[in-house]
Structure 1
Amino acid sequence: MRLISHPVLCNYYITYRCNAQCGFCDIWEKPSPYVDIKRVKKNLSDLKRLGVKVIDFTGGEPLLHQNLDLILKEAKSLGFITTVTTNCLLYPKMAKKLKGLIDMLHFSLDSPNEDEHNLSRGVRCFDFLLKSLEVAKDLGEKPDILFTVFENNVDQIEEVYEKFCKPNGLVLILNPMFEYGSVNTGDALSNNTLTKLKYWSKKPSVYLNDAFVQLRIDGGNHINKPVCKAASSTVVISPFNELILPCYHLGIQSIKIQDDLYDLYHSEEVKKLIAQEGRMPACEGCTINCYMQPSFAIEMNKYWWKALPSTLKYNLLKGTWKQLLPGKKA
């Protein structure tokens, strides 16, 4: 049963450029401009009309955009919940400008071991993470530690939790790896690893969307009965000011927005692409977290019920629950 008929999330790629070279990501390999702030303002206005509540300003590395603070101020003035994930290389430099503008600030961490984390990121950034934690604490900010879980690092969760999260009163987000395209993301998560994830999801100040685990147990999205609602739950905007459908990772169609995002989203061309969400051959077995999470939120099914407790837990921890209530406008 469909609960929400409009998109709830925007993944706004403000640049594909990145100052890291993560082995499990290919975005940094792409040429890219930075979004124009005037176009961002127009698109944010249209996103509000569409009913979007959360804007994930992403990349690439979003802190590379010199006007990120101005973009975030505009989003906050319109009532959006804002989220930014960073590798921390630039956070110490930009932290004061960004203070109070990001509701869900994520610091990426792949290993509590300095050499392993730097190897994963392709640059030496572990020290910048440590510095960023100090700076954030001094400013009264509460970033989350975003830990992407692979088969080879699942047993490091405890060390990350005890060393980085508990002493600083921070939320640990467990982000199960997912496969996409030709990117090497390692072996699929085993049942043993999924069991360990479920164990950790019950810990205080640990967030794991339990529906992610269930979806992997079920073999991912199935095109004959898709759980994926990527295109109808999420608006994806590229640095080239394009609407990307049905999702960024599949990227079947890119359509120039031309300052008419609201009308474009309701066009027949876009409606036809939305109707294909989760049903194309490449969608079989998909478990991409950034599109499954909003998919779980808009349709009542077993994944909605699985996701509900962990979603409530996280939004209570972050204080954003009131903004997500039905009828509460962005």
Structure 2
Amino acid sequence: MRLVSHPVLCNYYVTYRCNARCSFCDIWEKPSPYIRLEDVETNLRDLKKLGVNVIDFTGGEPLLHQQLDQFLGLAHQMGFITTLTTNCLLYPKYAQRLQGKVDMLHFSLDAAEKEKHDTGRGVACFDFVLESIRIAKSLAERPDILFTVFRENIDQLEKVYQEVALPNRLMLIINPAFEYNTVDTGAGLTPDQLKYLSAFGKRKNVYLNEAFISLRQNGGNHIADPVCKAASTTVVISPENELVLPCYHLGEKKYPINGQLYQLYHSEAVKKQIALEGRLPACEGCTINCYMQPSFAVEVNKYFWQALPSTLKYNINKGTWKRLFR
């Protein structure tokens, strides 16, 4: 049973450029412009009309865009829940400009050991994460630690929890790694490792969407009976101001927005693409978290019920649910 028919999330790519070289990502390899403020203003109005609640300003590294604080401020004033993930290389520089404008602020940290984290990220950013935590707390911000889990770094999870998350009273978000296109993320998590993560997710101040684990145990999305609702739950906007369908990672179709996002989204061409969500050949076995998360939230099935406890846990802890009633 479908609960919500309109999109709930916008993944707004401010640029594909990045100052890191993460081994599990290919976005930084792409040439890219930066989004324009005038386009953001127009698109946010249309996103509000479409029923979107959450705006994730993403990249690349979103803090490379020098007007990011203006985008976040505008979205926040319009009543959107705002979210931002950063590698922290630039957060100390822009922290004061971002203060009070980000509802869900995520700092990426994949190991408690400096060398291991920096090797995975391709740049020396471990110290910047620790400094960013200190600065954010001094500004009364409540960042989360986003830990992307691979077979090779799962041994670091306990240390990050004990040495970083708990002492700083931060939420630890467990983000199981996923494969896409030709990006090499190494061998997948083993069944025993998935069970370990499932148990770890029940700890205090830890967020793990249990449906992520279940989806992997079930072989991911299946095109014969897709769980993925990426195109109908998530509006993806590129730095070129295009609507990307069915999702960023597949990027089958791109439509210039030209100030008409609302009309474009309801056009016949876009409706045809939305109807193919989760059913394209490349969708078989997909486990991409950023599109499965909203997919689990809009349709009542086993994944909905598996995702619900962790979703409630996070939103109660962060207080983000209050933004929906303002």
TM-score normalised by length of structure 1: 0.98
Partner of residue 56, structure 2: 56
C-alpha separation in 1, matches of 2:142 and 2:77: 21
Write out per-residue CA displacement over residues 51-95 of structure 1, whole angstroms, 9 at most, x where no aligned residue.
000000000000011011111111011100000000000000000
C-alpha separation in 2, matches of 1:78 and 1:141: 20
Report the 3-state secondary structure (helix = DSSP H, G, I; strand = E; otherwise coil) of the residue aligned with 2:117: helix
Partner of residue 24, structure 1: 24
Partner of residue 119, structure 2: 119
Partner of residue 158, structure 1: 158
Using the TM superposition, give the Cα deviation of residue 152 of structure 1 relative to its aligned residue in structure 2, in angstroms.
1.3
C-alpha separation in 1, matches of 2:37 and 2:317: 31
C-alpha separation in 2, matches of 1:91 and 1:320: 22
Write out per-residue CA displacement over residues 124-180 of structure 1, whole angstroms, 9 at most, x where no aligned residue.
111111111111111111100000000111121110001111111100000000010
Using the TM superposition, give the Cα deviation of residue 323 of structure 1 relative to its aligned residue in structure 2, in angstroms.
3.6
Partner of residue 86, structure 1: 86
Partner of residue 254, structure 1: 254
Question: Within 5 Å, which residues of 2 pair with 1:69-218?
Answer: 69-218=69-218
Write out per-residue CA displacement over residues 85-112 of structure 1, whole angstroms, 9 at most, x where no aligned residue.
0000000000000001000000001111
Flag structure 2 segments of 5+ consecutive residues without an equivalent.
none
Query: Is the contact made by 2:22 and 2:120 (CA closer than 8 Å) also made in structure 1?
Result: yes
C-alpha separation in 1, matches of 2:235 and 2:175: 21
Aligned Cα root-mean-square deviation (Å)? 0.8
Counterpart code for 1:131: E
C-alpha separation in 2, matches of 1:304 and 1:160: 29
Flag structure 1 segments of 5+ consecutive residues without an equivalent.
none
Runs of 4+ in structure 1 off by over 2 angstroms are: none
Report the 3-state secondary structure (helix = DSSP H, G, I; strand = E; otherwise coil) of the residue aligned with 2:82: strand
Using the TM superposition, give the Cα deviation of residue 314 of structure 1 relative to its aligned residue in structure 2, in angstroms.
0.4
Query: Is the contact made by 1:312 and 1:321 (CA closer than 8 Å) also made in structure 2?
Result: no
Report the 3-state secondary structure (helix = DSSP H, G, I; strand = E; otherwise coil) of the residue aligned with 2:200: helix
Write out per-residue CA displacement over residues 282-308 of structure 1, whole angstroms, 9 at most, x where no aligned residue.
000000000000000000000000000
C-alpha separation in 2, matches of 1:6 and 1:190: 36
Partner of residue 317, structure 1: 317
- Matched pairs, number: 326
Counterpart code for 2:290: C
C-alpha separation in 2, matches of 1:55 and 1:91: 19
Report the 3-state secondary structure (helix = DSSP H, G, I; strand = E; otherwise coil) of the residue aligned with 1:167: coil
Quick one: percent identity of the two aligned structures?
Answer: 66
TM-score normalised by length of structure 2: 0.99
